[in-house]
Structure 1
């Protein structure tokens, strides 16, 4: 059975096609008109049938409905959507309605707990926003932080000034810089990295740091602490939240 998993975020639509636990194809599509994105997905799969689909999204209900409708038109299956709950195997969420967390955060925690069911984990998802969430070794959600992602920080500064122009391809580096624009890029990366390092420091080496999201590799390369990179952590959590049935959906 071919399973199409989708993570429709604010910047791009990530997808992967799995069969028998193995990834047959994967990719990411920059956000555009829904019809354009689904057409690109169809072209990428090049005739491979889809028997089951799951989707996570932080976008509006209207956009989610439209994506689901276009996926059904293209592949004949309607993506199933996760329903965040307070108590699920490996993860307990207290003091907040799980729906208020954002589906991607909840799923990333599920994915992390599936990887490390007996250890404390800190999950950092770096995309449009940078989210940092901690789950204790007992599986209880300890809380989190949310701040602008790297490109969001960069845009917030350049769009508020008259003389700075956002580069087509940002070059983030950790360290001091002379030109103002490079200093802004380096400052954005340094702020994100320092936040992560400071939060990990609170746990004195007793927590695993897991990075995912579009800027995860960049962050992983500049951090001065041990880190593990899992590009599909949200999709891994999606598979935990919605196990695939054996039936073929018509």
Structure 2
């Protein structure tokens, strides 16, 4: 196999190590899968987004010493995106990359970027490409686990995709957490209607949220990798 100049993109989230390479994407279950893939595909460069200490540029260099590793850091005004945070290093790199993925689209519209994972994050970008702020709330599973831990009589349930009023405890919990998440997005979309807000949904539970939303939106499962590619292309041209 001929070595490619295309980097291996890695997203180390709170619960999974996701990857994207050329036209493929997936999840590495462990270090063995990661190393096997990197060697078999003759990877020369890794571009890493991480919100955990498990995978950093240093830990990856220890695993794969012959491969160059570039760890993405949040930068203000990158690709024209002005950030709301006074200390931009405190903004999650995953949130930033998701925003980079959409800022070049529909320039006369505000953007609402929603990522549904362990945490649900929501970020709003106005028509002037300024990040005006966002929300971080517990994700669907996190809410359910928290309820069960705090109230032992409440079971851990699976969210099945309905937001209808529940007629038993399982439905009341599962439908309720999904309804709360979808309502947050729908209310925010209405608040930003004057700026013709475009809603984009991503994340591990993004499809569940997408199917429950009553507002026009796009669901993009690999949004963070779109942002990473935009970041890396600009980085190479600087």
Query: Relative to 1, partners in 2 of residues 1:26 and 1:190: Cα closer, same or farther, differing over 3 Å?
Result: same
Corresponding residue SS for 1:211? strand
How far has the Cα of 1:81 moved from its partner? Answer: 1.1
Q: 2:10 aligns with which of 6, 9, 18?
A: 6
Q: How far apart in 2 are the matches of 1:82 and 1:46?
A: 22
How far has the Cα of 1:14 moved from its partner? Answer: 1.0
Q: How far apart in 2 are the matches of 1:200 and 1:97?
A: 27
Q: How far apart in 2 are the matches of 1:10 and 1:128?
A: 7
Which ranges of structure 1 fall in alignment gaps of 5 or more residues? 31-36
How far has the Cα of 1:241 moved from its partner? Answer: 2.2
- 1:178 corresponds in structure 2 to 167
Q: 2:60 aligns with which of 62, 68, 80?
A: 68
- 1:91 corresponds in structure 2 to 81
Q: How far apart in 2 are the matches of 1:106 and 1:42?
A: 27
- 2:186 corresponds in structure 1 to 197
Q: 1:130 aligns with which of 120, 130, 139?
A: 120
**Over residues 102-142 of structure 1, what are the superposed CA-to-partner deviations in whole Å (9 max), with x where a residue is unaligned?**
11111111111134444321100110110110111211111
Corresponding residue SS for 2:228? helix
The 8 Å contact of residues 159 and 175 in structure 2, kept in 1 or not, is answered as no
Q: How far apart in 2 are the matches of 1:200 and 1:111?
A: 19
Query: Relative to 1, partners in 2 of residues 1:94 and 1:204: Cα closer, same or farther, differing over 3 Å?
Result: closer
How far has the Cα of 1:165 moved from its partner? Answer: 3.4
- The aligned runs of 1:21-100 (5 Å cut-off) are 23=23, 25-29=24-28, 37-43=30-36, 47-60=40-53, 63-65=55-57, 67-73=59-65, 76-100=66-90
Q: How far apart in 1 are the matches of 2:160 and 2:58?
A: 35
Query: Relative to 1, partners in 2 of residues 1:174 and 1:29: Cα closer, same or farther, differing over 3 Å?
Result: farther
**Over residues 68-116 of structure 1, what are the superposed CA-to-partner deviations in whole Å (9 max), with x where a residue is unaligned?**
235524xx31321122121112311145222111111111111111344
What RMSD, in angstroms, separates the aligned Cα atoms of the two structures? 2.2
Q: Report the count of equivalent residues.
A: 231
Corresponding residue SS for 1:189? helix
TM-score for both structures, normalised by structure 2: 0.88
